[in-house]
Structure 1
């Protein structure tokens, strides 16, 4: 029997990763439209951290997807995958976690 806090921890991690992907997407738009400048040391540190956290998951998605010009929808595909994992986690919690 898997304890219920395990499922809550997995859900919290997936929620945090969703937030990280959203922040990375918004920050990429802000950098692309020159609203924020990557030459700022704090901005560059945050950007490199976000890239380090999201790129390992986005790279395989980008390799499999066809080129859509200048549009990158790999974060959308990643978010759909994370939402699917959250739903599966809730289903498993309901099926196995609750006595």
Structure 2
């Protein structure tokens, strides 16, 4: 559907549902299928938020060392940039320039942490 790889999403969702079901069975708790689905979706949302937080931190640290400078482009830097660009670009358009320091990763991490707290409270 659109830019989302549906087959991969369904596979990851089913694997997460299986993981949660197995953990519940080990504890001797039966879980209704709808509850299992909702908990699995929330767990996947938390996982995606953590992936974004970690990739933003990696991008910030790589920017300190000029990754890909004279030796050519670094494939990890390209991957992290393409992953974080949809989140950081709107923040960079809104925030004023602060010279050489880019504060958009800090704002993004704070926003993602707030979102993580909200999702975890559900």
User: Under a length normalisation based on structure 2, what TM-score does the superposition of the two structures give?
Assistant: 0.64
Instruction: Specify the alignment match of 1:66 in structure 2.
Output: 96
Equivalent residue number for residue 20 of structure 1: 55
Matches within 5 A, 1:36-75: 37-40=68-71, 44-75=74-105
Greater Rg by CA: 2
* Structure 2 unmatched ranges of 5 or more: 1-33
| Whole-angstrom CA distance in 2 between matches of 1:67 and 1:56 | 19
Residues of 1 paired with 2:101 and 2:94: CA distance? Answer: 15
Structure with the larger RCO, 1 or 2 (CA within 8 Å, 6+ apart): 1
How far 1:40 moved relative to its partner? 4.2
Give structure 1 stretches of 5+ with no counterpart. Answer: 93-99
Runs of 4 or more consecutive aligned structure 1 residues displaced over 6 Å after TM superposition: none
Q: Which residue of 1 aligns with 2:111?
A: 81
Contact residue 92 and residue 104 of structure 2 kept, 8 A: yes
Q: How many aligned positions are there?
A: 87
CA RMSD of aligned residues (A): 1.7
Q: Distance in 1 between matches of 2:70 and 2:98?
A: 29
> TM-score scaled by structure 1?
0.78
